[in-house]
């Protein structure tokens, strides 16, 4: 959840009360939300935005690894081609709380971003794939019509080109300002993933900090394989909502990657630096096997 009330459902879900989704002065130094150590920005960029001291993985947001950096981490250099970048959010309900949704969109767009997800195609060790990477820095990575549409179209392209699909999630959940349209994107994206599954194309879901609400309760949880970065907050309900409902404090580590692994909800925890290798290995195995069967 960003500090501006973006409309995500997972407010108050940041680790130790820190807020790594909020804008920080774009200085040379960055304070690690995990251990409070002051880190040199240049050095963080070289370690893929992972704290050398406590292994905190900075989220995909304004103050952390950018979508472009994340794509660079996973794909062969220069291979990414953006698709559906012209799809952007509008204000279907004429929504206004303390601020107009239109103004929130304008402010988010002013950062140079266009939407809470970037989609396209690229290669991983020469293997063509389609990919979507969410951006927590754009209205908390919240699920909007445009987000659902971009992800759905990208999945349709994967289906058409018979490539694997990879989605890297980072989201506070629904974009409430789009009301029922936001909710229905869960059904829309999940319905198409059913077709990907039926076509026996691999879909790998990568969960980063944080992934909550409607995104977790749809495409993020539907991967053939679900990989998560260490320490990521992953859940359905926001922690404040749960605490208010059950009237007690949540246990340490609740809804973190390690908690999900222990409960059998994800396949592996993969440090950012190793993500590319694991992804490549799995996708090649699945696609090789699929090709052998197709030839038989």
Partner 1 sequence: METSWLDFEKPIVELEQKIRDLREFADREGLEFGEAIHKLEVKAERLRREVYSNLTPWQRVQLARHPRRPYFLDYLDVLFTDFTELHGDRCFGDDAAIVGGPARFEGRPVMVLGQQKGRNTREKMARNFGMPHPEGYRKALRLMRLAEKFGMPLITFVDTPGAYPGIGAEERGQSEAIARNLREMAGLRVPILVLVIGEGGSGGALAIAVGDRILMLENSVYSVITAEGCAAILWKDQAKAPDAAAAMKVTAQDILNFGIIDGIVPEPSGGAHRDPAAVTQALRDEIRRFLTEHASLPVDQLLDARLAKFLRIGVYAETA
Smallest gap, in angstroms, from Cβ of residue 237 to partner 1? 3
Terminal alpha carbon distance of the chain: 50
Q: Identify which of residues 51 and 165 has a Cβ nearer to partner 1 in the complex.
A: 165
Nearest distance, CB of residue 275 and partner 1, angstroms? 21
Sign of CA dihedral 241, 214, 209, 28: negative
Tokens of 4: 């501006």
d(CA 97, CA 120): 34
Residue 59: HSE in the Cβ half-sphere, 13 Å Cα cutoff = 34
Nearer to partner 1, 58 or 136 (CB): 136
Q: Which of 47, 218, 57, 10 is nearest to 132 (CA)?
A: 218
Nearer to partner 1, 75 or 168 (CB): 168
Least distance from partner 1 to the Cβ atom of residue 21, Å: 15
Residue 278 beta carbon to partner 1: minimum distance, rounded to whole angstroms? 21
For residue 120, the cross-strand partners are 82, 131
Least separation in angstroms between residue 6's CB and partner 1 is 9
50 three-class SS? strand
**Residues that bind partner 1 in the complex, under the rule CB under 8 A:** 5, 7, 9, 11, 86-90, 92-93, 95-98, 144-146, 148-149, 152, 174, 176-188, 190-195, 197-198, 214, 216-222, 235-238, 241-242, 245-246, 250-251, 254-255, 259, 263-265
Structure tokens given for 240 = 């404040």
């Amino acid at each position: 959840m960003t500090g501006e009330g973006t409309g995500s459902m997972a407010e108050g879900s940041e680790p130790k009360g820190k807020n790594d989704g909020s804008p920080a002065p774009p200085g040379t130094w960055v304070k690690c939300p995990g251990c409070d150590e002051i880190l040199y920005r240049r050095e963080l960029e070289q370690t893929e935005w992972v704290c050398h001291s406590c292994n905190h993985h900075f989220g995909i947001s304004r103050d952390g690894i950018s979508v472009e950096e994340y794509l660079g981490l996973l794909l062969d250099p220069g291979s990414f081609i953006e698709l559906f970048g012209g799809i952007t959010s509008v204000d279907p309900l004429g929504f206004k709380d303390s601020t107009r949704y239109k103004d929130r969109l304008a402010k988010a767009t002013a950062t140079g971003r266009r939407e809470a997800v970037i989609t396209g195609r690229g290669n991983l060790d020469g293997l063509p794939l389609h990919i979507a990477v969410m951006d927590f820095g754009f209205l908390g990575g919240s699920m909007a019509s445009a987000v659902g549409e971009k992800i759905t179209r990208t999945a349709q392209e994967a289906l058409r080109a018979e490539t694997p699909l990879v989605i890297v999630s980072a989201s506070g959940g629904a974009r409430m300002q789009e009301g029922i349209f936001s909710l229905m994107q869960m059904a829309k994206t999940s319905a198409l993933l059913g077709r990907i599954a039926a076509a026996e194309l691999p879909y790998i879901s990568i969960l980063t900090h944080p992934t909550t609400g409607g995104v977790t309760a749809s495409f993020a949880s539907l991967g053939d394989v679900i990989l998560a970065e260490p320490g990521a907050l992953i859940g359905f309900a926001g922690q404040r909502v749960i605490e208010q409902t059950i009237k007690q404090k949540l246990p340490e580590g609740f809804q973190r990657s390690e908690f999900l692994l222990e409960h059998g909800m994800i396949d592996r925890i993969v440090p950012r630096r190793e993500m590319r290798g694991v992804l490549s290995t799995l996708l090649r195995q699945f696609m090789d096997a699929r090709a052998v069967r197709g030839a038989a």
